[in-house]
Structure 1
Amino acid sequence: MDDIDPFIGTAPTALPPAQGLAATWWWPKAQIGNTHPGAVSPLGMVSACAYSGAYPTGYGLYTKNTEGLPDQMFDHPQASGFTHFQQSGTGAIRKYYNYVRVTPMVQPLDTLGQSWPLHDETAEAGYYAATLDPGIRCEITVGAKVAVHRYTFPEHRGARVVVDLSCGGLAIDHGRTVPLRAHVESLGHGRAQGTVVVEGVPLSVYIEVDSPDWRQMVWHDRRLIEGGTRLDFDRIRQTTLRPFGLLFIGQAAAGQSVEVRIGFSLRGCEQARENLRRECGEAPQAFDTIKAHTQAKWRDHVGRIEVEGGSPARRQVFATALYHSLVKPCFGDDESPFWPTSGPFAFDVCTMWDIYKTQLPLLMAICPDRAVDLLESLIRVCEEEGNFPIGYRMARGADRFFRQASALTHTALADAHAIGLGDLDWNWALVHMVDDLRRMYGEDFYEHGVVHPISHTLDLAYAYHCTSGVARAMNDVPLAKQLDERALLWPNAFDPATGLLHDSSFYEGGKWNYSFRLMHDMAGRIALAGGDEKFVAMLDAFFGYGAARVVQPGHRPDAAQMAVGYALNRFEGLNNEPDMEAPWSYHYAGRPDRTAEVVHAALTWQFGTGPGGLPGNDDSGGLSSWYVWASLGLFPVAGQSLFLVNAPAFARSTIHVGDKDFVIETSGHRETPISSDGLDRVPPPQYVQSARLNGKPLEVTHLSASDVHAGGTLHLELGPEPSRWGRATRPPSLSTGVGP
């Protein structure tokens, strides 16, 4: 856990200029990780961080951007306080949270909302600290449903802690969040509570402040309400909003610390108080206890994958990637404000398009209980709202990301069923899987066998295949056969004359980016392209073999520059979701050596240490999960309960899958540096020469997910030259008569 650096990804991409194959890749999307260094608990409900109003987390210096490098909003790190609930690595999600701003200050109340410089920032898993002018040391830690702040003041007669319950959103155009209704109540003796209805969600807090002899009162429009103990707002509008909240004020000796404990709930103040009491107990101070407990949880979670070898830089990037993979989604058990029953409530699924290929299989491997909870929550969303969500935030809205993709939850459900994960009501799940196939774009696909955007044709055909597998496993053969008919309509998406997808509109990409996804019939897809050699030639062109170095978009790239880049029809690196799985398409054409070269180039040049160490938005951990799998030498094929095998970056790795261990060990492994190690030449890749699974020869380039989840040992012999391993027998495909 000591290798984790929460600051990785918080600044614009600042990696050394790539060499070799990676120098031919063109990155059109935002070149910034959009992560934050705030305190979080593994998959917890609450996060907390310094708040400047910057995009998209509320932390940092940068304004909104979708292409190239972002512009700065501010000249230096600054904060107007510390807020709760942040996105992690997302782009234009339009759900910016940052509720309940807590500001330690010695300035007058009418300066609230101004930002002051931040100094001496530090962060660890579960902990964030900084000094806020004029010399207030601020520390934050969180539990699953609580946040604890500790502020150490300089000597001052009028030190104060101000809680702003009206805060929300960002300081960018259209980024502000305005509460609709609110209730705030001072309970005396350092106690207060309140509920703010924001974007349809009733967020309740119960607050305790350890500040003996300090006065407390409510305030509105930056004016104290002497003698007042409560505020009620029945209806607030953009034009009528004036800040409001609570204030705690008193004399502080130099070095005096004040602790603020906040319990959160989406089901009222009483449950917020119970959440606070459950995690913090009755002791007057809980900061060190909560910090130690959360950091122990992080040690447990990131310890579920252990690696041996690697340079310090590579180990730090890997550890941080694993950390970022476990920040989202957020789980608020028994906290749904939309249905009354107990059980898991998962939000910040932002979005399935980002996480279904890499992050969800990772959760199934190392956090299987939480993976099941997520699926149960998604099924409940479908019951309540009529759709499996493509993305789901704290507020309702299962279908708000419909342009990205269709029917992605089906892949995770199919994987979970195939490996026997959890005790879901699979009959009920199957009902929703079938019904959801005909929603949104699914209706046109059902009637016509093709739909535009054309990528949705592939999504839906694949989802039919995933649903058919669940139906057949449950002995509903007639239903499975009906579903199979439409699963076989995937060729309708392709133009046989080019071997690529038909012209269409595409979400963040073009037809080249979407044409190499891993489908349920890769043998048929390769035949459609003209066979192995032609398919490999197309992939080689896409990945830039033999191409010249490209120039990346900088600040505010103009339309002409972007058009030239898009015309390359080139791999966009790990800056773009549709490209994440493309390197493994080579496996299905008998060229795992090419996969090794592309993945090695990406691991070497597209990730590094420091705030600028990510090539683009981390997308709620989807990108970081890609890095974790690629470093282990595995890639999950979502929906097919399948892993593809490649040369790993570490000499030995262990995945703790429940009470089983899956070990990936190597012979002939050679340590290779990454860009942050200060490369002066391109290090060559390594290739798998032979493989053994549990002591038996493995001639194929894939494993079933059951092999991994059952535990065992995969031994890979590595060498400096491509071999014949994996060229004769391909991964499963419908056209070969071996279904995934």
Structure 2
Amino acid sequence: MSSNLSRILDSVDPFIGTAATDLPAAQGLAAAWWWPKAQVGNTHPGACYPLGMVSACACSGAYPTGYGLYGISKEGAPEAMYDEYLASGFTHFQQSGTGAIRKYYNYFRVTPMVEPLDSLGNRWRLADEEASPGYYAATLANGIRCELTVGAKTAVHRYTFPESSSSRVVIDFSYGGLAIEHGTTVPLRAGIESLGQGCAQGTVVMEGIPLSVYIDTDAPGWRQLVWYDRRRVDGGTRLDFDYIRRTTLRPFGLMFMGPTRAGQVVEIRMGFSMRGTEQAKRNLEQALPGQAGFDAALADTRDAWSDYFSQVEVQGGTPERRTVFATSLYHSLIKPCFAQDESPFWPSKGPFVFDIATMWDMYKTQFPLLTALNPAKGADMLEAIVRIAEEEGNLPIGYRMARGSDRFFRQASALAHTVLADGFQLGLEGPEWDWALVHMQDDLRRGYGEDYTERGVVHPISHTLDLATGYWCTAILARGLGDLKLADELEARAKGWVNAFGPDGLLRDSSFYEGGRWNYSFRLLHDMASRITLAGGDQEFTSILDRFFGFGADPVVQLGVPPFGSEFAMGLDLDRFEGLNNEPDMEAPWAYHYAGRPDRTAEVVHAALSYQFGTGRGGLVGNDDSGALSSWYVWASLGLFPVAGQNLFLVNAPAFAEAQLRFGGNDFELVTTGHAETGIGEDAHGTAPRYVQSARFNGKPLDQSFITGNQLHGGGRLEIELGPEPSDWATKTRPPSASDRADHARDAGARFQEFLP
């Protein structure tokens, strides 16, 4: 990496997105976008390991991560549950940036106390909070300074106590979930054992998952005991529960206790596993051998974060923009959770990945970023996805720490097909591609797929687009593996996307998941050329997009705190871009590229970067959705955008003057001329150069507005000249479409073949 490019790891602010949206007042184009969904990022500032199994954070019981102030928030500004930041202890396993979810996590609550055990469950005010990648700290109102760090499968707590005759660290095995109605998680079975000499272990079965922990403390001379219903179990070293119901649940757990002098430090080391306490112990010993404790764990985690951040370096940018960019990269690498050899559902070794929590958003932006930064991890994820289909019968739409790969079928269909197609075209090693093809083909007939097969259309109508794309992606594998007959059959079915559209160039009336037909009408389909023809051609398609993005429209009034009046219905009637507050239309700005108007893409993206993201706790305009929104920001800032399933990256004006990236294990350099700095909240209609005038890739003119994934991963140099006015760059050549491929005599078709891997 170039020495004049500064690293951005220290610019990360994990508090961004933890509170209600608080952004500069939007001007220009961005002022016309409407925010229907929850105006809060729903992130947490807890300690996280990149793509690790374990996280740890202060827990108030707030929605949806357990951290923070708010109750259930689905639309508008969130309503506060608490007036200040509180914690009843520190829990493990949190979601990141999601909205409504069924599984709530927050297990194995650890609470340092100087109060009696009866005070367990009280919430203490948090003061002096600090957070950075892999680290979280706060001081409780009882005077205890609390620090957390985690490894991939471990956590270490460090508590600095005041002087007390009876300090204690209490671990509540029964706790899980949130402090909202129907938000708690009740263990079905549990077993705890105090092993003596500061060691203990136990397992709880939470919503079908056996979670085991091995605990090691460094508090010599402290007593350790088990407790039940906030009372010590005198002389007992074990607790076992064969069957627990909500009506029979009483709190239970472990406690370490003893006197402390002022400033005395106690560390709690924890290893976790979904395959029993012996594996939990091995996980801890392998990560922290000997007496290695908090400082060693934090150093290892910081090194892991540094490995990722060293691959993405940018030149320039205001301090605020660099903070938002760095934090976006950080949020993009928290999920999904990789847990090698940890599947509780099948006994064999190998990759196991969970918390693919919002795949209907993650597949567009986050998975391409993960695969670019760590191709081996990307291959592991694909192998795990295929294994889920093999073991559970479905390629997952969303996958949590629980069995049930088809649980989110109403959100979308055939999304894993796009990820698998991208991985295949990139040549990722690991997945058995012939076996993946079998599962992809079988999965196309599950759920809504049967109706699509019989009728060529299915409602909700967005699933028609999903399934058509799924057939196209499956055909890519079939053709690549030499089954040309199957590929032809699949490509024929992939043409069914056309049945979803009406004569007005938009999707037909139907039901939709979190959006309307306008929000879903501008997906980057595999045949955008034909889709634009269906809408009446470039000019008509551009006019429809302009209306959707609100060019020339009046500013809108955003929702406040519910309950709402007529403003909600009025907002829905706008049929307007949701401005990254919600993600169904997150790829829509790049639809202009296919109509020869990359200048319009530049204007929309520039407005979004200026007004939809900011610093501070309220710096996200909507739910981060496991990093999908943050990874959108990363790509948009770099002037690139992945087209899921098509092995394409669209090129646009970057927000930074220069970037050096290590994608696919190779160095990729992005250099601009004519760049001018713009900050967050600056006028989106200002004079800052933001239009591409010309481009060169590896020294040769780049007249089209795209490169392939193989070119990005293969390394090279992309030079972009920027200017203050639109140009004719990439107005005559278009990104490839399926209909181009069908006619090799056409220039576009030949161009498509040239860029195939």
**TM-score category by the smaller chain?**
over 0.9
- Alignment match, 1:701: 705
Q: Unaligned stretches of 5+ in structure 1?
A: none
Superposed displacement of residue 423, structure 1: 2.8
Query: In 1, distance between residues paired with 2:305 and 2:508?
Result: 46
- The answer to whether the Cα contact below 8 Å between 2:28 and 2:683 also exists between their aligned partners in 1 is no
- Residues in 1 aligned to 2:127 and 2:384: alpha-carbon distance in whole angstroms: 41
Q: What secondary structure, in the 3-state scheme, does the structure 2 residue paired with 1:355 have?
A: helix
Checking the alignment, whether the CA contact within 8 Å between 1:686 and 1:718 is kept in structure 2 is: yes
Which residue matches 1:534?
Answer: 540
For 2:449, what is the secondary structure of its paired residue?
helix
Residue correspondence of structure 1 range 492-641 to structure 2 within 5 A: 492-496=499-503, 498-641=504-647
Structure 1 residue 352: Cα displacement: 1.1
Q: Verify: 1:688 aligned to 2:695, yes or no.
A: no
Amino acid at match of 2:597: R
- Residue 125 of structure 2 aligns to a residue in which SS? strand
Matches within 5 A, 1:375-394: 375-394=382-401
Matches within 5 A, 1:18-417: 18-283=26-291, 285-417=292-424
Distance across 2 between alignment mates of 1:24 and 1:254: 57
Deviations 1:630-667 (A, max 9, x none): 00000000000001000000011122024311111111
Which residue pairs with 2:719 in the alignment?
Answer: 715
Instruction: State the shift of 1:619 in Å.
Output: 0.3
SS class of match (2:152): coil
Shift of 1:682: 4.6
Cα distance in 1, alignment partners of residues 469 and 475 from structure 2: 10
Q: Deviations over 1:222-265 (max 9, x none)?
A: 01011010000000001000000001110000000000000000
Matches within 5 A, 1:419-498: 419-496=426-503, 498=504
Measure, in 1, the Cα distance between the counterparts of 2:687 and 2:722.
15
The CA deviation string for residues 22-49 of structure 1, in whole angstroms up to 9 with x for no partner, is 0000010000000000000000000000
Following TM superposition, by how much is the alpha carbon of 1:586 offset from its aligned partner in structure 2, in angstroms?
0.3
1:685, 1:342 → 2: CA distance? 52
Rounded to whole Å, the distance in 1 between the matches of 2:578 and 2:296 is 45
What is the deviation of 1:374?
Answer: 0.7
Cα distance between partner residues in 1 of 2:187 and 2:223: 27
Equivalent residue letter for 2:369: L
Shift of 1:557: 4.5
Cα distance per residue 1:320-353 (max 9 Å; x no partner): 0000000000011100000000011100001210
Contact persistence 1:20–1:682 (CA under 8 A): no
**Aligned residue among 659, 662, 673 for 1:656:** 662
- Residues 479-502 of structure 1, C-alpha deviations (whole Å, 9 max, x = no match): 111111110111100002x11000
Aligned counterparts of 2:563 and 2:578: Cα–Cα separation in 1: 16
Write the distance in 2 (CA, Å) between the matches of 1:721 and 1:681. Answer: 11
Which SS does the other structure have where 2:10 is aligned?
A: coil
- Matched length: 736
Native 8 Å contact 1:673 1:679 kept in 2: no
Determine the C-alpha separation between the residues in 1 that align with 2:177 and 2:408.
Answer: 19
- The verdict on how the C-alpha distance between 1:383 and 1:559 changes in structure 2, with shifts beyond 3 A counting, is farther
- Please give the per-residue CA displacement for 1:521-563, whole angstroms capped at 9, x wherever unaligned: 1111011111111100000000000000000001115152111
Report the alpha carbon displacement of residue 736 of structure 1 after superposing the two structures with TM. 2.9
- SS class of match (1:339): coil
Cα distance between partner residues in 2 of 1:641 and 1:473 = 14
The Cα offsets for residues 470-517 of structure 1, whole Å up to 9 and x where unpaired, read as 100111011111111110111100002x11000000000000000000
CA contact (8 A) 1:58 1:170 kept: yes
Which shifted more, 366-375 or 550-559? 550-559
Counterpart CA distance in 2 for 1:166 and 1:357 is 37
Amino acid in structure 1 at the alignment position of 2:652:
N
Separation in 1, partners of 2:262, 2:228: 30
Q: Is the Cα–Cα contact under 8 Å of residues 673 and 683 in structure 1 kept in the other structure?
A: no
Instruction: Give secondary structure in 2 for the equivalent of 1:608.
Output: coil
SS of the aligned residue for 1:574 comes to coil
Q: SS of 2:187's equivalent? A: coil
Give the residue type in structure 2 aligned to 1:166.
Answer: S
TM-superposed CA distance for 1:683, in Å, is 5.7
User: How far off is 1:684 after superposition?
Assistant: 4.2
1:596-636 Cα deviation digits (max 9, x unpaired): 00000000110010010001000000000000000000000
State the distance in 2 between where 1:658 and 1:721 align. 34
3-state SS of the aligned residue for 1:562? helix
- Secondary structure of the 1:575 match is coil
Contact conserved, 1:106 with 1:159, CA < 8 A, in 2? yes
Distance 2:163 2:499 in 1: 73
Q: Distance in 2 between matches of 1:241 and 1:683?
A: 63
Matched residue of 1:248: which SS?
strand
CA RMSD of aligned residues (A): 1.1
User: What SS does structure 1 have at the residue aligned with 2:584?
Assistant: helix
Cα pair 1:454 1:502 within 8 Å, conserved? yes
For the residues of structure 2 that align with 1:9 and 1:362, how far apart are their CA atoms? 20
For normalisation by structure 1, the TM-score amounts to: 0.98
Aligned-pair distance for 1:686? 1.1
Question: Displacement of 1:735 after TM fit?
Answer: 2.4
**Offset, 1:734:** 2.0
Return the alpha-carbon distance in structure 1 between the equivalents of residues 461 and 309 of structure 2.
Answer: 39
In 2, Cα distance between equivalents of 1:530 and 1:157: 80
2 CA distance for matches of 1:685 and 1:614? Answer: 25
> Distance in 2 between the 1:680 and 1:577 partners?
21
Per-residue displacement from partner, 1:391-414 (whole Å, max 9, x unpaired)? Answer: 000111101111111000000110
After alignment, is 178-187 or 570-579 more displaced? 570-579
C-alpha separation in 1, matches of 2:321 and 2:145: 32
CA distance in structure 2 between the partners assigned to 1:142 and 1:310 by the alignment: 31
In 2: Cα distance, 1:665 partner to 1:387 partner: 43
Equivalent position amino acid for 2:51 in 1 = L
Q: Give how far 1:424 is off.
A: 1.6
Is the 1:329–1:347 contact (alpha carbons within 8 Å) kept by the matching residues of 2?
Answer: yes
Is contact 2:212-2:274 (8 Å) kept? Answer: yes
Residue aligned with 1:602, SS? helix
Does the 8 A contact of 1:15 with 1:606 survive in 2? yes
**Contact conserved, 1:600 with 1:685, CA < 8 A, in 2?**
no
